[in-house]
Structure 1
């Protein structure tokens, strides 16, 4: 078993080095060590075989990290061999690596942009690789330097194939991912709405995404964002999905309030009829001191400016 593993590791090293077209210099791996099996006597060999048969090997779910040297090799950008194989869409190489790293922490290694292999598989639109990575134990909850999970990226890029795989495998994490905002305060639903992927918006809500979730910057819902974008089709889709037309931003504005000064009168008409009557008026701005406010006696002493008592 050790001989087979050693042979496979060095086979991957050689192939991946040839595959590296990014011209990134990899750290040198340790030299291959001869197993010495051929030099054993027959009795010694049989004894080793008997001992190996009695060994209790850990199951594939054990997650202690691999000790093979090639798993520690990275480029100057922090990319592992697996990252490179996926970036270059070298599927055969990537599959070899994934098979050797089932349920291992190596699969979740992040590069300098904090991208995992799963992020890169979505970015390069490789749904089959997304499927393999998830089934091998990749964590779909990990985020990149912008706070995006792989599903956030699929929603941003409109990759329906990757979206489908991500929402059908490891669904135990799906609810938390759907409610998780990235570092801009946007959930997957907000991102899909902003990019006008209507079918994806519908799927997200059907999967359990909160259609009235507020983005964290100003408290706008997807319906507020649709008005900002002047996207009538998106407004209709969100209303049909149960969006609350009376939802208020942190500043107290309904989606209808955001139609003022905008060109699409149809959006304004659609929201006017659905908005509660008491919420149709624009909210009052915070009170500010008026220029006509009465001043104290000290404030009124500066009608005439005196210099040196004159």
Structure 2
């Protein structure tokens, strides 16, 4: 395994207490990836490399271990690789020997920490051990996603529960913090239709009427965009404000125009203020309404920061 020394173990990604999302433009965000080390190591090589690292649980007295300084060309540490390859025992040994050590928060070239990778690979045991060992849950990857964002995006109830239970100190800011696309955890859970996560987030204090930063849509707007009547009903039952407008002046009911789901239309019609049921005159053309009917991937492509 081609490795080099980590020059700055203390380097940390931004967190909620000292920085916000990067400004200037929307950064391109790929799907969650955890394959940065897969091409560099075969299974047999991985086992031999771990043996050579000699992660010895008896060496508690040593502050610096050689394996803490090893990284691949993609920035993955041995802990990253152990999580990626589901080498659970090796990962647990390294975590045990690294309680409250900066090693736990080293990020790879995608700015993923071990905690990000444990959530992406759906390994709740490692998520719990990492959090209890001092892994910082506030750190964000190169898309601005914390581990909690990823759990909400993937619908991982187990990882979501562990993160929220073990991070009470930061929970309010973690729940509300937006990624680089302007989505907080509630927006991600809504976009992906995870009703149980939506319910849990609101119960934990998430503001149900928070607007995402690109076009001002609330979770209710997003539920209508996705034509998800069960989610619409859930959000209404949880107290979502039907009269809240996005940045274009549209309520959630306005977004039902030109769409076929009558259940959603009826649900929102009954609760929307009478004066807000008609579309704004300048936006009543059929051609204008086509702009509202965007796919999930296109929701925010026309919004640019820094202008």
Please say whether Structure 1 and Structure 2 have the same fold, judged by a TM-score greater than 0.5: yes
Tell me if 1:249 matches 2:271: no
Equivalent residue number for residue 37 of structure 2: none
- Describe the shift of the 1:199–1:277 C-alpha distance in structure 2 as closer, same or farther (beyond 3 A): same
Equivalent residue number for residue 77 of structure 1: 74
- Describe the shift of the 1:115–1:241 C-alpha distance in structure 2 as closer, same or farther (beyond 3 A): same
- Report the CA distance between 1:281 and its aligned residue: 2.0
Q: CA-to-partner distance for each residue in 1:143-193, whole Å, 9 max, x for gaps?
A: 111111101111111111111101100211111110011111111111111
Secondary structure of the corresponding residue to residue 167 of structure 1: helix
Q: Structure 2: how far apart are the matches of 1:271 and 1:185? A: 25
Equivalent residue number for residue 149 of structure 2: 152
Secondary structure of the corresponding residue to residue 285 of structure 1: helix
Larger gyration radius, structure 1 or structure 2: 1
Q: Structure 2: how far apart are the matches of 1:216 and 1:239? A: 22
Aligned residues: 235
- Report the CA distance between 1:285 and its aligned residue: 3.1
- Report the CA distance between 1:131 and its aligned residue: 0.3
- Report the CA distance between 1:22 and its aligned residue: 8.7
| Cα RMSD (Å) | 2.5
Q: CA-to-partner distance for each residue in 1:67-98, whole Å, 9 max, x for gaps?
A: 33321110111100110111111111111111
Q: Structure 2: how far apart are the matches of 1:68 and 1:233? A: 52
Tell me if 1:21 matches 2:43: yes
Q: Show structure 1 runs of 5+ residues with no match.
A: 1-18, 32-57, 59-65, 287-310
- Report the CA distance between 1:21 and its aligned residue: 2.7
Tell me if 1:268 matches 2:304: no
Q: Show structure 2 runs of 5+ residues with no match.
A: 1-40, 55-60, 284-307
Equivalent residue number for residue 16 of structure 1: none
Alignment of 1:281-296 (within 5 A): 281-285=278-282
Tell me if 1:115 matches 2:96: no
The structure whose RCO (Cα within 8 Å, separation 6+) is larger is: 2
TM-score of the two chains, using structure 2 as the length reference = 0.72
Equivalent residue number for residue 231 of structure 2: 234
